[in-house]
Amino acid sequence: MKRKKYRIRIYNGGQKNIGLEKKVKHNQVGFKASTKLTMEQYQLIIGGNYEALKASSEEELIREFCLDGIQRKLKPKVIVDYDRQTFVYHYGDVRVTFDHDVRHSTNGRDLFADNTLYVPALGPNQVVLEVKYTGFLPEHVKKLVQQNVAKRQSVSKYTLCRSKYY
């Protein structure tokens, strides 16, 4: 019924734009909040040093994360990586993404470690298709994404990768 999870995101392996995201889902309604992290703050998270992280920031999301980290003993679980193709249709604010080569770490939890090994989480021809929109989904877009869909289901790349890891 009610879930809250955090994730750290980077793009293209870079250290310049490290983000902390909180995803909350209550029934079928969800929202996301995010903020930027410095490399130093990221290292505190990897080290589990939530007290020092909390002291380093006045950002509300970081402080909430620290409290949850302390209370729930949060620690990194798995690295999820994938390649994404994105298509945007501005009417209805529609974003269609194809995530392929979804893979997960087998030996590490540090996004920037050089020796992290990855294994596939999906079969070689499997792709995760996501359709996100606000307002409305135009009929022609709906018809396009419903054509030739081999298997329609709700999927979480994180859950998929965690289930493969453990």
Residue ending a domain, choose from 72, 102, 122: 72
Instruction: Tell whether 124 and 52 lie within a shared domain.
Output: no
Instruction: Tell whether 50 and 88 lie within a shared domain.
Output: no
Residue 90 DSSP symbol: T
- Cα–Cα distance between 46 and 144 in angstroms, integer? 42
Residue ending a domain, choose from 41, 72, 103: 72
Instruction: Tell whether 65 and 16 lie within a shared domain.
Output: yes
Put simply, whether the predicted model's pTM sits higher than 0.85 gets the answer: no
Residue ending a domain, choose from 38, 72, 106: 72
Number of domains in the chain: 2
Instruction: Tell whether 67 and 12 lie within a shared domain.
Output: yes
Instruction: Tell whether 63 and 119 lie within a shared domain.
Output: no
pLDDT per residue of the chain (166 residues) written in tens, 0 to 9: 678 999 999 987 788 899 999 999 888 788 899 999 999 999 999 999 999 999 989 999 999 999 999 999 998 889 999 999 999 988 878 998 999 999 999 887 899 988 889 999 998 888 998 888 887 888 888 887 776 666 666 778 888 888 765 4
Q: Which domain holds residue 151?
A: 80-165
